[in-house]
Amino acid sequence: MSRNFLYIGVIVLTFTMLVVGCGQSFDGQLRGVENRPSWTGINPYGMVYIPSGTLTIGQSDEDIFNSFIQRPMTVSIPGFYMDDTEITNNEYRQFVYWVRDSIAHTLLDHFYVDERGNERLDWEFNIDWRDEMLEPMFVPAELTVNRRRAYDVSMFNYEYRWIDWQRAAHDRNATINDLVNIESVNIYPDTLVWIRDFAYSYNEPMARNYFSHPAYDDYPVVGVSWKMAKAFSHWRTQMWDAFRPHEPNSEDFRLPTEFEWEYAARGGRDLAPYPWGAYNLRNAKGCLLGNFKPGRGNYPEDGGMYTVNAYMYFPNDYGLYNMAGNVAEWTETAYDPSAYSYIHDLSPDIKYDAQPDDPEAFKRKVVRGGSWKDVGYYLQTGTRTYEYQDTTKSYIGFRNVLTFLGRSIDDF
């Protein structure tokens, strides 16, 4: 009886192995799964590759007091792609228009059902913006100025889902419902930052024109909060995936960690106080090398009264523009003045998902690079500062990074 069961077991095992091996050669050897997707790497438009390497973080010797909270430390940074400029008004406008058109498609109830049975927006559908069903998207005529038709941008909300990887790692009992978070963010830039940030100053023309006028299309977008920058990153990932369904890229566009940002800003020049590698803000001819506030009341000496074109000034050795000045940039990292005393030396980062009712100190995110209205100290690659994640400023923008998968020959 036991021998019969043994025979049956061998037959079942043999049949199972044949079924598993169906469609591929199987000779009893360990060869891995065949017909896997090929992977030759990607080259995202507008991004440059930052190779893996090490970085000595910490403020320069010139900053004696901050050296107590930014003690020098060597860390290792894996390779990644980074936008060569800050995200511009016109690039961010593509996101705004996508959200606007999504609302229009929803109001018109124009969907199609995909092969999985999910409702999808029909982007081929030609929208007639005069359609009466779209009236909720516009400010009532009696509230407009000079009867100019204007969108009600309070409706421009983007909803997305993200996974709490920190909780997944530390809470083994967490379910998928516990790990997936739903975020809804109004994504239209706060154009009033130009007035709110400066008392007793006439900046209304910038408030009216900076995001909307074509003259500023290639200038860095401002008036975006940390959460808005995160929403843009998620949308950019979805757009990339939608047009490359068979390209096995599992990483998302995201904000850089503050240490990735500092590593990229130095351009391969470890301990360099500025992205251009020198110890001065001017070149040998006396020309300023970035867009900042070089003296009291002397904003235009560097060539820009406010922000400048995202491709102005020379890039650093990695090909990155305006890593010092123009606009400061959001990073992924939560701000802690004592972070350098406990962070890991391998791809360090500090994450904290601040809730609306958390103390204000918990909502601080690291901001790097200095801006057009800052003095030269904030342009140094090692200078750390912060802003609150739900605030918008006329001098803070962002750029994206994308983790590199694998190891390039350039890393050796």
Q: What percent of the chain has pLDDT over 70?
A: 88
Return the higher-pLDDT residue of 347 and 4.
347
Which of 255 and 355 is assigned the larger pLDDT?
255
- Measure CA 317 to chain center: 21
Residue 198: closest CA among 350, 56, 316, 305: 305
Instruction: Assess contact for 85 and 318: CB atoms under 8 A.
Output: no
Distances 135 to 97, 253, 276, 291, 365 between C-alpha atoms, Å? 17, 34, 51, 43, 38
**Selected residue with higher pLDDT from 52 and 277:** 52
CA–CA distance, 229 with 255 (Å, rounded to integer): 8
Mean pLDDT computed over 294-308: 90
pLDDT band of residue 408 (cuts 50, 70, 90) is low
Give the pLDDT score at 224. 98
53's tokens: 């390497």
Alpha carbon dihedral 400, 410, 323, 48, in 10-degree steps, equals: -40
Q: pLDDT by residue (tens digit) across 380-389?
A: 998 999 999 9
Residue partners of 10: CB distance under 8 A and separation at least 6 = none
pLDDT of residue 109: 86
Place of tokens 């998928």: 176
Query: Which whole number is the average pLDDT over 246-260?
Result: 87
User: Which of the listed ranges 211-225, 259-273, 295-309, 397-411 does the model predict with the highest average pLDDT?
Assistant: 211-225
Residue 227 has a pLDDT of 97
Distance of CA 207 to the CA centre of its chain: 24
Q: What is the CB-side half-sphere exposure of residue 270 using CA atoms within 13 A?
A: 11
CATH class of 48-88+191-411: alpha beta
Residue 157's pLDDT band (boundaries 50, 70, 90)?
Answer: very high
pLDDT score of 69: 58
- pLDDT for 8 beyond 50: no
Give the model's pLDDT for residue 13: 46
Strand arrangement, sheet containing 385-388: 385-388, 364-368, 328-334, 396-397
pLDDT by residue (tens digit) across 98-148?
999 999 999 998 887 876 677 778 888 888 888 889 999 999 888 877 778
Question: 350, 334 in Cβ contact below 8 A?
Answer: yes
Cβ of 260: how many Cβ atoms within 10 Å?
26
Model confidence at 36, pLDDT cuts 50, 70, 90, reads confident
Is the pLDDT assigned to residue 213 strictly greater than 80?
yes
- Output the pLDDT for position 154: 95
User: Which is higher by pLDDT, 247 or 159?
Assistant: 159
Task: Report the alpha-carbon distance of residue 36 to residue 248 in Å, rounded.
Answer: 10
